[in-house]
Amino acid sequence: MDLNAAQQKVNELRDLLNQYGHEYYVLDKPTVPDAEYDRLMRELMDLEEKFPELKSADSPTVRIGGTVLDMFEKVVHEIPLLSLGNAFNEQDLRDFDRRIRQVVGEDYSYVCELKIDGLAVSLRYENGLFVQGSTRGDGTIGEDITSNLRTIKSLPLRLRENVSIEVRGEAFMPKRSFEALNKVKEERGEEPFANPRNAAAGSLRQLDPKIAATRNLDVFLYGIGDVGESGVVSHSEGLDYLDHLGFKTNKERRKCANVDAVIEFVNSWVERRPNLPYEIDGIVIKVDSLAQQSDLGTTAKSPRWAIAFKFPAEEVVTTLLAIELNVGRTGVVTPTAVLAPVKVAGSTVQRASLHNEDLIREKDIKIGDKVVVKKAGDIIPEVVNVIAEQRTGEEVDFQMPTHCPECESELVRLEGEVALRCINPKCPAQIREGLIHFVSRDAMNIEGLGEKVISQLFSEKLIKDVADIYKLTSEQLLGLERMGEKSVSNLITAIEASKSNSLEKLLFGLGIRHVGAKAAKTLAQVFGTMDKLAEATEDELKSINEIGDKMADSIAAFFTKEEAQELLKELVIAGVNMEYKGPMPISVEQSDSFFAGKTVVLTGKLERLTRGEAKDRIESLGGNVAGSVSKKTDLVIAGEDAGSKLTKAEQLGIEVWDEDKLLEELEK
């Protein structure tokens, strides 16, 4: 391929990737599966490597992270990024409204927006190209975090118009990304982030952009630094203009004619906010007219035309009854607080992770203490602090053990880690947790073989590794408590059925360190069989998009272990499938199927397909299978005993199919 042909192909690939990325990350309306996007990205990366002169600052490939920085440069904000004054109750909002009315009279309106709990950022574009991104800093001087911001897939690298503009927004970490990140950090024995806001800020202040690229951050734009000659005369028009340019704005906003409508909007979100996929800590209220904003002016610290209503943090007091120790499948020993049951943010909390010994010492936590509990990011129960003045003298200091509570091996603290870890590969707790992981829904999905049954089988010495699951007999199972003939028959059938699972299920179930469900599917699609994956070199693994150095090292190390090789041989003898059986990524030519670009929800029990099979079939044809019904849902497939999802679909007027109609369309 000569340079001209390469340039044409590169332009074509960039246009496609930018289109698909905008549909997925901004519009939440994907039109192709992840695997097709990844294939196009790999093709573009290969071309840019062969023809370095074709690389550009707006190429989608820059989102994977660039070179490591020595330090952050300072950025002076030409228009200061002011902070907002706060309101904490209805009277504060009415006082704010009275001050507005005194200056601008009776003819005005407000725009209410969700206050995203993240990190304020400024983005600068020249002739439509993203050239610089920075933090708020002190409002006048921030830090240049351009390389890290480029990794956010919803942030456009080139606008739809060649305008020069500076815009403001909030970078944040979605709740799902926050949970996944903290899970990984705890498995590695590292200190978890306290909340999504800290996680987002920590991610954007990494000197290595490749770290930020793995954190799955997002951004909402909420304002324009200087509207210039855009013709925009109101804040609401400005948000629409940002949409037009290709930015992602938050659609949960409302124009309010008066303060009563503002208060109604605020109150509606006090109860609804836990249902959002991201964290908010309040509502921002702004005067809509830019001319009136100018008349109102600013103080040294904040604009007079805007205010932030802050939600009260829900914290409750309970008693810490005990501290239990749990050994995970990677050997990390995690202390867990056992609490007197208490309701926090809508749910009853009885346990809270204490993460590690350092945190217990830092917060001076004793068994028997009265403690303040909240949900970090409204998700994870957390002990905020103890109420020392309520101590009776009967509280007991907690001492972390020096040896594993399961196998008595000496615990170690690896270099750079804050957690204690059991490094005995034969530790019963690690083996048991690995078995539980193997049979879980996202892995081999053996129905009826849950945590309690696995623990029982393990304690009875009927299984010692995952291969033993396939050697279980009806006679052995019937000898267990609460295992009747029907349940045993169903379990044997489920175990047998799991042998035919596609390769990615087995790969994920094996618990190879750093290999999640998505990476397992990518590996299965690329290599096709377990044998080919086992033979892959580290360089071959690292060449695959999404497979980083640590994961490649871990995979290669796994297949060199003698015990892993022996385990795989036993699984082969047992008849467990070692090949990828799922659909291959859809090609662009196939994307005109009925399901392409549609969001589909499955509910109820299907007779001829499992839920997973239906999901794979729909996604292979370009559809996106979601877990809940919303206004964005295009189609609901309802099986037997469909419940609230079907009801909601009918209320929203969403098209509903039965299984017969689904199969008819799939067969086309």
219, 217, 197: which is closest to 209 by C-alpha?
Answer: 217
423, 467, 496: which is closest to 564 by C-alpha?
Answer: 467
578, 597, 600, 577: which is closest to 586 by C-alpha?
Answer: 597
Report residue 179 as tokens: 């949970």
As a whole number of angstroms, the distance between CA 413 and CA 415 comes to 7
In order of 19, 238, 239, 240, 295, the CA distances from 167 in angstroms are: 22, 10, 11, 13, 22
As a whole number of angstroms, the distance between CA 506 and CA 529 comes to 11
Active site residue 598: no
Query: Which one of the listed residues 29, 55, 115, 464 is annotated catalytic?
Result: 115
**DSSP element (H, E) containing 271:** helix 259-272
Helix (H, G, I), strand (E, B) or coil at 341: strand
Helix (H, G, I), strand (E, B) or coil at 273: helix
As a whole number of angstroms, the distance between CA 226 and CA 223 comes to 9
191, amino acid identity: E
Helix (H, G, I), strand (E, B) or coil at 391: coil
In order of 28, 74, 454, the CA distances from 633 in angstroms are: 11, 44, 38
As a whole number of angstroms, the distance between CA 383 and CA 461 comes to 38
Report residue 524 as tokens: 């299965």
Separation of first and last alpha carbons in the chain: 37
435, amino acid identity: L
Backbone φ/ψ region at 597: left (φ over 0), alpha (ψ -120 to 50), beta: left
User: Which residues, 6 or more positions from 290, have their beta carbon under 8 angstroms from its beta carbon?
Assistant: 227, 232, 233, 234, 235, 238
Could you tell me if 120 and 325 are in contact, meaning their C-beta atoms sit under 8 angstroms apart? no
Neighbouring CB atoms inside 10 A of 471's CB total 13
Backbone φ/ψ region at 297: left (φ over 0), alpha (ψ -120 to 50), beta: left
Report residue 171 as tokens: 């970078």
Number of alpha carbons in the 13 Å side-chain half-sphere of residue 474: 10
Report residue 409 as tokens: 């091996």
3-state secondary structure 617-632: HHHHCCCEEECCCCCC
In order of 318, 526, 538, 624, 667, the CA distances from 585 in angstroms are: 51, 11, 24, 13, 18
Report residue 319 as tokens: 């008693």
* Phi/psi of residue 299, nearest 5 degrees: -90, -175
Q: Which residues are catalytic?
A: 115
